[in-house]
Amino acid sequence: MTISWIQAAMLGLFACLCSNSCMAGQAVGNYTIGRPLVGGLICGLILGDLQLGIACGVAMQLVYIALVTPGGTVSADVRAISYIGIPLAMVAIASQGLNPLGGSAANLAKSVGTLVGTVGTVLYYAVATMNLVWQSFGWKDVHNGKLNKLTAVNFGWPWISHAIFSFLPTMFLTYYGATAVTALRNALPMDGVAMKTLFTVGGMLPCVGIAILLRQIIGRTTDFIPFLVGFTLAASLGLNLVSVTVVSLLFAVIMYEVEMSKGGKQGNSTVPEGPNDDDEEDI
Amino acid sequence: MENTNNSKKLDKRTLLKSFHRWFWGALTCFSQEHMQTFGYMASMLPILKKLYPNHKDQVKAIKAYTAFFNTNPMLGTVIVGITASMEQARANGKEIDGETINDMRAGLMGPIAGIGDSLIDGTLIPILLGISLGMSTGGSPLGAIFYIVAWVLIAYFGQRFLYFRGYHFGDQAVSFLVGKQGAAIRRAIGIVGSMVVGGVLASWVNVTTSLKLYGANGKVFLNLQNKLDSIYPGLLTVIVTLFCWWLMTKKHVSAIWTMLLLVVISLIGVLVGFFNPGLSY
C-alpha cells in the first residue's frame, strides 16, 4: 500500500477540520471527525481499504476512548492519531502482510498511532501559539471598534495556523512516512524483540487512556469500587456496555437520593436528568 | 430578567445565529492564553448588533466579553444563552453591567467545565463509543456511521436546547447544578462514569501473560494466565491500569512518560518471557 500526494493532501484537509481547536467546530470536528473510529472510516475511504481502515480505527479508539482535555492540556493530538497515525498503521499492517482483523494488527496500529499521536501534541501547541497572532489582530479590532472583523479573526485567520501546522505536516508525514514504514518491514523482523515489545506495548496502551480518565473521576479511594464493579460486571459476568450502564443507573439514583436526603429537608426532589442527554428542542 | 419592559427583544433568528457561531466556532481561534474568549465574542456579536443599533454602544458592550473564558464547550453553551438574556435585559435599561455578566460567566465556567468533562467526555462519549466499537468489530463501517449520526444529533440538538434554556431561564437554568443538588448530581454521574469506564476496560482491553513453567517431564505445571483468571478475570488488566493511574496521580508522572515506562516494562517482559504477543507471518 502506498499513499499518493492527492491522498496525503486529503488527509491533511481532514487534519485541519478535526484537531483540538479545530476548524469544523468542537462537536463535529474534534468529537466526530477527530475520533479514531471515524478517522478509520475516513482513512479507509481515502486509501481505498475500508475494512483495514475501520480495524485500525477501532484499535486506536480503544486507546483514546476517554480522551479528556482538562483545562486545555492535551496528552495526545487527535489530528495526529487519526490522520497521520491511522494511515501509517494501515500501510505498516499491509506491508507486514498481517490479517487486518487479527489481534497483532490491532496492537501494531495502537503502537504506531499512539507514538504519532503523542509526538503530535507539538502540533496542538504550535497552532494555539500561532493563533495568538490572529488574536492580537482581534484585540486591535476591538480597540478600534471594528467589530465586524472579529468574524474573520475567529473563523478565517486560524486556517493559516492549520495550513502550516495541520495540513503540511500531515501531508508530508503520511507521504514520506508510508515509505519509511514499508522499509521498516525489512529492518525489524516480526519475531524479534523490538516487534514483540511494540506489540506488547500496543496491548497495554489503552490502560493509560483509561487511567487518564480515572484521574478525572476518582476523588477518593472508595470511588474505585464502582469502577471495579463495572469491570467485574463485564469481565466476570460478561455483560455488555449498555447493560453495565443500565445497572449503573440504579446505583446513580440511589446515590442521588442518599446525597439529597443528607441534612434533612430539601424542597426540590425531582430526579435529575443529564442536561445534555436531552435532545428535545425548546421553542 | 424576563418580560419587564420588553422594548427590545431578541428574535429567534438572531439567537440561532449566535448559537451556530458558538457551535462551529467556540474553539476555532484557540490559544493557551485566551482559550475560548474569541469564540465567545464572535457568538455574542449578532446579539449585540441586534440590541444596540448604535455602533458606539456595541463597542462598549463587547468589552465585557474580552475577559478570559474557558469551559466545556458542549455544556458551556448554556452560559452563552444566559448572557444573551442578560444582555437583552441590559439593553432594556435593567441594572446589569459588564461586571455582573462577567461575574456570572466566571462563576459558572468552572462548575460547568467539571460537570461537562465528567458527563460528556467521561460518560456519554465512552458509552456511545463502546456501543459503536461493538458494531464495528470485524471492520464493518456500521459502528462508525452510528457514532457519527448519534453523536452529531445529540450534540447539535442538546446544545441548541441548552442555549435556549439559558436564554429563557437565565441563571435559573443552571441553579440545579450548583449547591447541594449539584453536588448530588455530580456524585450520581460519577457512579455511572466509573462503572462505564470499568466496563469499557474489561470489554476492550486484555493484558495477558504468556508465562508458563515446565516440569521435568516437559509438561506445564504452572500456566500463570489460567491461575490469574481463576482468581479474578482480567486481574493483570486492572493492575496495569491502576499502576498507570498511581503513577500519574500520586507520582505526577506525565502520560507520555507513563507510556515510555510501559515500553520499558514490555521490553523486560518480552526478554524474560512474561509477555509474548505470539507473532507470526
Taking only Cα atoms into account, the Rg of chain B, rounded to an integer number of angstroms, comes to 26
Is B30 within 8 Å of A127 when comparing Cβ atoms? yes
- Is B246 a domain residue? yes
For chain A, what is the mean pLDDT? 82
- Is B3 a domain residue? no
Among residues B162, B179, B200, the one where a domain terminates is: B200
Residue A21's pLDDT band (cuts 50, 70, 90): confident
Write the pLDDT tens digit of every residue in A157-188. Answer: 899 999 999 899 999 999 998 888 777 767 77
- The alpha carbon of residue B150 is apart from the nearest alpha carbon of chain A, in Å, by 10
Report helix angle B235-249 to B224-231, nearest 10.
80
Same domain, B226 and B89: no
CB B238 within 8 A of CB A180: no
- Residue appearing with cell numbers 472510516: A41
Same domain, B148 and B222: no
Amino acid identity at A128: A
Among A204, A223, A229, A273, the residue to mutate for chain B (most B Cβ within 10 A): A204
pLDDT at position A247, please?
Answer: 94
CB B62 within 8 A of CB B99: no
Q: How far apart are CA B238 and CA B234, in angstroms?
A: 6
Top-confidence residue, A86 or A215: A86
Q: Does position B268 have pLDDT exceeding 60, yes or no?
A: yes
Top-confidence residue, A278 or B36: B36
CB B144 within 8 A of CB A40: yes
Same domain, A125 and A243: no
Residue A199's pLDDT band (cuts 50, 70, 90): confident
Q: Which residues of A fall within a CB distance of 8 Å from B56?
A: 145
Handedness of CA B121, B160, B23, B40 (dihedral sign): negative
Same domain, A135 and A232: no
Same domain, B218 and B142: no
Same domain, A244 and A141: no
- Is A278 a domain residue? no
Q: Among all residues of chain B, which has the CA nearest to that of A195?
A: B279
Q: Does A122 lie at the interface with B, CB-CB under 8 angstroms?
A: no
Q: How far apart are CA B136 and CA B125, in angstroms?
A: 16
Q: Does position A61 have pLDDT exceeding 60, yes or no?
A: yes
Handedness of CA B105, B111, B114, B116 (dihedral sign): negative
Residue A69's pLDDT band (cuts 50, 70, 90): low
What dihedral do alpha carbons A53, A54, A60, A64 form, nearest 10°?
130
Average pLDDT over residues B94-117: 83
Q: Which residues of A fall within a CB distance of 8 Å from B279?
A: 104, 190-191, 195-196, 199
Is A215 within 8 Å of B248 when comparing Cβ atoms? yes
- Is A94 a domain residue? yes
Same domain, B180 and B228: no
Same domain, A175 and A109: yes
C-alpha distances in Å from residue B14, one per residue of A13, A90, B39, B88: 31, 46, 16, 12
- Is A275 a domain residue? no
Residue A228's pLDDT band (cuts 50, 70, 90): very high
pLDDT at position A144, please?
Answer: 86
pLDDT at position A236, please?
Answer: 92
- Is A204 a domain residue? yes
Counting Cβ atoms within 10 Å, is residue B99 exposed (0-12), middle (13-18) or buried (19+)? exposed
Q: Does position A54 have pLDDT exceeding 90, yes or no?
A: yes
- Is A233 a domain residue? yes
pLDDT at position A67, please?
Answer: 63
pLDDT at position A66, please?
Answer: 64
Same domain, A83 and A23: yes
Same domain, B48 and B183: yes
Among residues B158, B182, B200, the one where a domain terminates is: B200
Number of domains in chain B: 2
Same domain, B192 and B229: no
Q: How far apart are CA A255 and CA A49, in angstroms?
A: 47
ipTM reported for the complex, 2 dp: 0.81
Same domain, B153 and B27: yes
Same domain, B210 and B193: no
Among residues B169, B200, B231, the one where a domain terminates is: B200
- Is A62 a domain residue? yes
- Is B74 a domain residue? yes
What residues of chain B, 192 to 251, have a C-beta less than 8 Å from chain A? 192-207, 232-234, 237-238, 240-245, 247-249
Same domain, A116 and A99: yes
Residue A75's pLDDT band (cuts 50, 70, 90): low
- Is B90 a domain residue? yes
Same domain, B156 and B187: yes
Same domain, A146 and A209: yes
Write the pLDDT tens digit of every residue in B178-218. Answer: 677 777 887 888 888 889 889 888 887 888 888 888 877 77
Q: How far apart are CA B71 and CA A45, in angstroms?
A: 34
- Is A174 a domain residue? yes
pLDDT at position A190, please?
Answer: 67
Write the pLDDT tens digit of every residue in A242-280. Answer: 889 899 999 999 999 998 888 655 444 444 444 444 443
Report helix angle B98-116 to B179-204, nearest 10.
30
Residue A211: half-sphere exposure toward Cβ, Cα within 13 Å: 27
Q: For residue B247, give its domain range.
A: 206-272
Q: For residue A132, give its domain range.
A: 5-217
Please state, for a pLDDT cut of 70, what percent of chain B lies above it: 95
Same domain, B195 and B110: yes
Same domain, B181 and B221: no
CA angle A125-B257-A162, nearest 5°? 20
- The alpha carbon of residue A31 is apart from the nearest alpha carbon of chain B, in Å, by 8
- Is A276 a domain residue? no
Same domain, A105 and A117: yes
Among A73-77, A80-84, B245-249, which stretch is predicted with the lowest mean pLDDT?
A73-77
Is A157 within 8 Å of B245 when comparing Cβ atoms? no
**Strand partners for B35:** B69
Number of domains in chain A: 2
Same domain, B157 and B41: yes
Is B249 within 8 Å of A215 when comparing Cβ atoms? yes
Same domain, A252 and A149: no
Cβ neighbours of residue A220 under 8 Å, at least 6 residues apart?
A: none
Q: Among all residues of chain A, which has the CA nearest to that of B131?
A: A241
pLDDT at position B281, please?
Answer: 47
Top-confidence residue, A21 or A124: A124
